[in-house]
């Protein structure tokens, strides 16, 4: 009796121990190769569901996510690395929706690349038990499928015409930054000038091509406070963390990061505290001076306020979210502690004090000779932009709140 394999023909009755081991190894390798080939050909059948046979209900989901490694919240044609892509992947896999197009979907805020949120809210119509019994465990179902840096923390039933975008009463953004050599009192004095209703065309990215031609927004409050003192540097307050809080009903594209960029210049004493008053005076300053954005990393959509929403929080699910956040916090605190110890040891070697904790907040190349904002080259005026896109036939007027 003989056995033929890829590496030769073997007489099974006259095999020594070593040859038997070689043959067994060859057979096992062949089995593994066949298993992989079959694995590539056999795919798990896609789960299908007849949504017409199920009850539906309109709900809101409250999310938190760390946006540092994502290309923004909204779905993009050029990248799958967005929060919405992961959300709709999870919603579809667990058959809560048939498609995005049929789900009556709205989002409260469209955060940019790198921006995080503690309280993003979306509204959509999902599959429901609908028979008076306990509702589907929405948070648990979605969190099983979502990445660890995206979590659903609560859900709530709402009316069919409820929109997370248009029914939001106010949005709160926070921006954290190290004190460094910044004059926080001077910054607090300056930030009060943005409170109220103003034309913010000089403190945002003008998105005229997408129909945004009106830049009046109302900011209800804005302030800066020291939110934490770094115990590693007990005698050095330059390592304290500061917290900017801005509250308003709606915001423009890059509005917060533009405000922070100018605010940092005030804190560095490069700009007068009245610079916001000058930039908000459209008659005297109709064109936006050229300046770089503040970093996206510290920005957070911190809270979205709604009336008459009864949030449902599952204790088991929220405990899992807290555990996940605690692990992430511990990992980053270990790194921060290590860096703190490195800094303390290294700073003793320098003859002069180095105090550049906040220098990285403003992006772009820094000029050796500072040019005041109002003396810099300015971008095209709003009127010129409208005229340009109208001639091109690309201007589509629409409401664009964020």
- Residues known to be catalytic: 112
Structure tokens at 292: 């770089």
- Sign of the Cα torsion 166, 204, 75, 390 reads positive
Instruction: Answer yes or no: are the C-beta atoms of 374 and 289 closer than 8 Å.
Output: yes
Place of tokens 């059948």: 45
Sign for the pseudo-dihedral over CA of 262, 268, 270, 271: positive
Instruction: Please give the torsion angle defined by the CA atoms of residues 172, 178, 182 and 187, in that order, rounded to the nearest 10 degrees.
Output: 10
Q: Is the dihedral of CA 190, 196, 200, 205 positive or negative?
A: positive
At 299, is the secondary structure helix, strand, or coil? strand
Work out whether strand 2-5 and strand 8-11 pair parallel, antiparallel, or are unpaired.
Answer: antiparallel
Q: How far is CA 180 from the centre of its chain?
A: 25
CA–CA distance, 220 with 187 (Å, rounded to integer):
17
Q: Within its chain, how far is the Cα of 219 from the centroid?
A: 22
d(CA 311, CA 88): 21
DSSP state of 312: B
Cα–Cα dist 213/215, whole Å: 7
Angle at which helix 255-267 crosses helix 184-191, to 10 degrees, equals 140
3-state SS, residue 321: helix
Strand pairing partners for 151? Answer: 64
The Cα–Cα gap between 127 and 136 comes to 8
What is the length of the chain? 402
**Alpha-carbon distance 180 to 182, whole Å?**
6
Return the H-helix or E-strand segment holding 35: helix 17-41
Residue tagged 């690309």 (tokens): 394
């Amino acid at each position: 009796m003989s056995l033929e394999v890829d590496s030769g023909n073997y007489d099974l009755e006259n095999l020594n121990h070593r040859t038997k081991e070689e043959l067994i190894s060859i057979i096992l390798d062949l089995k593994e190769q066949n298993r992989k080939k079959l694995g590539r050909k056999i795919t798990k059948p896609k789960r299908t569901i007849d949504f017409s046979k199920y009850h539906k209900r309109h709900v809101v989901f409250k999310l938190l996510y760390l946006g540092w490694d994502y290309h923004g919240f909204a779905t993009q044609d050029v990248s799958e690395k967005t929060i919405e892509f992961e959300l709709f992947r999870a919603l579809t896999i667990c058959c809560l929706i048939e498609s995005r197009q049929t789900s009556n979907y709205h989002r409260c805020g469209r955060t940019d690349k790198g921006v995080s949120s503690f309280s993003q809210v979306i509204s959509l119509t999902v599959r429901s038990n609908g028979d008076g019994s306990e509702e589907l465990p929405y948070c648990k179902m979605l969190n099983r499928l979502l990445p660890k840096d995206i979590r659903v923390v609560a859900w709530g039933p709402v009316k069919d015409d409820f929109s997370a975008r248009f029914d939001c009463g106010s949005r709160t953004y926070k921006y954290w930054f190290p004190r460094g050599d910044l004059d926080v009192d001077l910054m607090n004095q300056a930030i009060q000038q943005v409170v109220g209703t103003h034309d913010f065309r000089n403190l945002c990215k003008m998105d005229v091509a997408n129909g945004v031609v009106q830049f009046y927004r109302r900011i209800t409050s804005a302030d800066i406070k020291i939110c934490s003192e770094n115990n590693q540097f007990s005698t050095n307050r330059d390592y304290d963390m500061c917290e900017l809080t801005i509250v308003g009903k709606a915001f423009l594209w890059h509005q917060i990061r533009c405000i922070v960029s100018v605010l940092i210049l005030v804190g560095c004493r490069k700009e007068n505290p009245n610079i916001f008053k000058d930039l908000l005076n459209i008659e005297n300053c109709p064109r936006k001076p050229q300046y770089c954005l503040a970093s996206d990393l510290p920005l957070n959509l911190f809270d979205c306020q709604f009336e008459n929403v009864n949030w449902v929080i599952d204790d088991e699910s929220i405990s899992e979210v807290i555990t996940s956040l605690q692990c992430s916090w511990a990992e980053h605190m270990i790194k921060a502690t290590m860096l703190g110890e490195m800094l303390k040891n290294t700073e003793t070697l320098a003859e002069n004090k180095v105090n550049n904790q906040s220098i990285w907040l403003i992006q772009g190349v820094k000029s050796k000779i500072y040019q005041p904002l109002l003396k810099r080259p300015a971008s095209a005026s709003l009127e010129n932009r409208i005229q340009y896109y109208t001639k091109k036939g690309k201007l589509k007027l629409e409401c664009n709140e964020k």
